[in-house]
Structure 1
C-alpha cells in the first residue's frame, strides 16, 4: 500500500511575497497557540496492558500541563503496526500522535511489507518510559540463582523450554538473546499473548519466561514464580533483592520494552518541541515518577534528537537479534 506524503506544503520565497508575509505570521500564531483542542494519542496495544497503563499516567499529567485533554485511542494488533499506520496517515498538525513501544523497531525485521516506513513517515518527539523484563522460572525447577539456572540450561541443552507472547515478540527475542549471550539452548513455545504464557508457566507446563515486570511481579510476590533477574541495568524498586543480568551472567546486557512519542512526518518543529518539553517537565515530578514505578515501569527520558539516535541504534540491534533467533519475516 502506497502512503501519500502528509508533509506541509513549502512556501517558495520570491513568489507572491505579499501573501507569504501574511501566511507566515498566521502559522507562527497557530503553532504558538498549540494545543487549542484535544490531542489524540494512538497506542498499538489493548487497554489495561503495561504500555497502556504507563501511557495513561503520562498523558493525564501532560493534559493538565497543556490544559487540553490527551485522549488515548487503543488500536491493538499486528505488533503495533496498525496504530503506527493510523498515525502516519493523520494530519501532521500535532493533534494525532503515536505512543510507540520498542515493537516499532522490531516490526521492519519481521514483516516483508509494511504500510509505513519509520524514517519516511514518522518523527521522534521523546522517549519517556521503559518496562523492564523479568526472567522468572517455575518453582518446580528448584533453582535459586541465575548462575544455578544457567548451569542447568547448559547441562540439559534444549530440554528446558521457555514461553513467549508470540514469535518475534520482544519476549521471544529477549529470551533468544539471553540464551545466545550465555551460550545455552532451550526450546521455544510461542503463545498468542502474555496471559496464556504466564498461565502455563504457573501450571508448570513451561520452565521459564522473560516478560513484562508489571505482569509478573504479583506472581513473584505470591511466591508462585521465582524471579532470578531483571533485564534493566538497574535493579527495580519493586524487586530490590532481584539482581540484573548485568550483575550475574551477562555483563552489559540490557533488554527493556521502552516507549515514547512520535508524530507524522512534517509536524511543525514548534509543536514537537512543545510536546517534548511538556513530557520532560511532568516526568520530573516525583508523584508521576512514583506512580510509574508502582506499575513496574520506570521513567526513561531522551529528548528529540537523542530519541532519534536511539531509534536508529535499536533498529539495528533488534535486527541482529531477529536474525540470530532464526525468525523468518512474514
Structure 2
C-alpha cells in the first residue's frame, strides 16, 4: 500500500513539474487561433482585435485562421484533434453548444473535447431588412410574413449558425414562415441583403453598423433584452411587441482538452489584461460587442447551462439538420 501511495505521489509531482515546465517555456512557437466562421463576421473581428494584442503579450506571432463550414464544425473539429499544448486555440460562439441539438452527427463532444480559457464578449443580433421591404417596424414585418408565407427570405452565415437559430426562434415565437438562406459567411449574407437578393437577416452588430447609418439597410430591432448604445434608436424585440424575446450570443476562447492548467491560466490572465485596457474596450465597442470575461470554471458551467437552454429553443423551433 505504501509503495502504491509513493508511486501515486511521484506521478502527481511529475505532472505538476511537467506542467510548470511547459508554462515557463510556453509559447515556444506561433499560436494559431481558429475561427470556425468566414472572415468579416463579429467572431472574426473579435479574434483579430485580440490576436494583435495577444501576440505582444505572448511574445510570439498569433495567426488567425478562418475555417468555416458545417455550422462551425469543420474548424472546431480541427482544434479538437490538435495537440493540447496551447499553440492551437479556438474562438466559438453560442452555436458551439447548440450543434448537438440540430445535427444528426457531431464529430466531437462540445464540452469534453475542450477546456475553456475564458468568455470574451456578449453581443445581440439585429433584424435588418432591405429598404425595398415595405415593413418599417417589427409588427409590419410580422404582418407581411404572415400574409406571404415563405416569401420573405432571411440570410445567415450558414446552417446551424447563430443567425439561423435566432431566425428560427423569431419565426417560432411570431408564428410566421420565413425562408432560410444559408451563406458561407455573414459578410456574404450581408452583401446579398444590401443587393436585395434576400429581404432580411438577423445580423451581427458590426454588419448593422456598416450598413444602417448610410441607409443601405433598415434596423427593425435588436435581439437583446436592452437597447444597445451603438444603435440607441433601435428598439428591442420586446419593445417591438415580441414578448419574452431575448437572444444574446457569447464568444469564448477554448483550448483542446488536456491542455495543462498552467497554460490555460496563463492565457486567461493575459486575455483579461488585454480585454480590460481602454484601447481594447473601445475597439470592442466599435465592433458592436461588450467585453464579458470569466474564469475557466465559470465558462465551463455557462457552456453546460447554455447547452440545456438552447436545446429547449431548438426543440420548440423545430430546427433540425442532417
Q: TM-score range by the shorter chain?
A: 0.7 to 0.9
Q: Corresponding residue for 1:302?
A: 294
Report the more deviating stretch, 192-201 or 261-270: 192-201
Report the more deviating stretch, 55-64 or 249-258: 249-258
**Matches of 2:77 and 2:28, distance apart in 1:** 25
- Determine helix, strand or coil for the equivalent of 1:270: helix
Matched, 1:162 2:153: yes
TM-score normalised by length of structure 2: 0.86
Q: Corresponding residue for 1:184?
A: 175
Cα RMSD (Å): 2.7
Q: Please state how far the C-alpha of 1:134 moved relative to its aligned partner.
A: 0.6
Q: Is the 8 A contact 1:229 1:244 kept in 2?
A: yes
Q: Please state how far the C-alpha of 1:203 moved relative to its aligned partner.
A: 4.4
- Determine helix, strand or coil for the equivalent of 2:82: coil
Matched, 1:218 2:210: yes
**Matches of 1:159 and 1:23, distance apart in 2:** 58
| Match for residue 76 of structure 2 among 51, 59, 84 | 84
Q: Is the 8 A contact 1:231 1:256 kept in 2?
A: yes
Q: Corresponding residue for 2:27?
A: 35
Q: Is the 8 A contact 2:124 2:204 kept in 1?
A: yes
For the structure 1 residues 17 and 150, does the alpha-carbon distance in structure 2 shift closer, same or farther, using more than 3 Å as the test?
closer
**Matches of 1:83 and 1:213, distance apart in 2:** 23
Q: Please state how far the C-alpha of 1:70 moved relative to its aligned partner.
A: 2.2
Q: Is the 8 A contact 1:109 1:329 kept in 2?
A: no
**Matches of 2:148 and 2:25, distance apart in 1:** 61
**Matches of 2:8 and 2:81, distance apart in 1:** 30
* Number of positions where the alignment pairs a residue of Structure 1 with one of Structure 2: 317
Q: Corresponding residue for 1:239?
A: 231
Q: Corresponding residue for 1:51?
A: 43
Matched, 1:110 2:102: yes
Q: Please state how far the C-alpha of 1:209 moved relative to its aligned partner.
A: 2.0
**Matches of 2:290 and 2:277, distance apart in 1:** 13
Which residues in structure 2 correspond to 1:74-153 (within 5 Å)? 74-153=66-145
- Determine helix, strand or coil for the equivalent of 1:236: coil
| Match for residue 289 of structure 1 among 281, 285, 296 | 281
For the structure 1 residues 58 and 234, does the alpha-carbon distance in structure 2 shift closer, same or farther, using more than 3 Å as the test?
farther
Q: Is the 8 A contact 2:124 2:224 kept in 1?
A: yes
TM-score normalised by length of structure 1: 0.84
Q: Which runs of 5+ in 2 are unaligned?
A: none
Q: Is the 8 A contact 2:155 2:193 kept in 1?
A: no
Q: Deviations over 1:269-325 (max 9, x none)?
A: 222111112111211111111112222233222322221122112222222233233
Q: Is the 8 A contact 2:129 2:217 kept in 1?
A: yes
For the structure 1 residues 24 and 87, does the alpha-carbon distance in structure 2 shift closer, same or farther, using more than 3 Å as the test?
same
- Determine helix, strand or coil for the equivalent of 2:179: strand
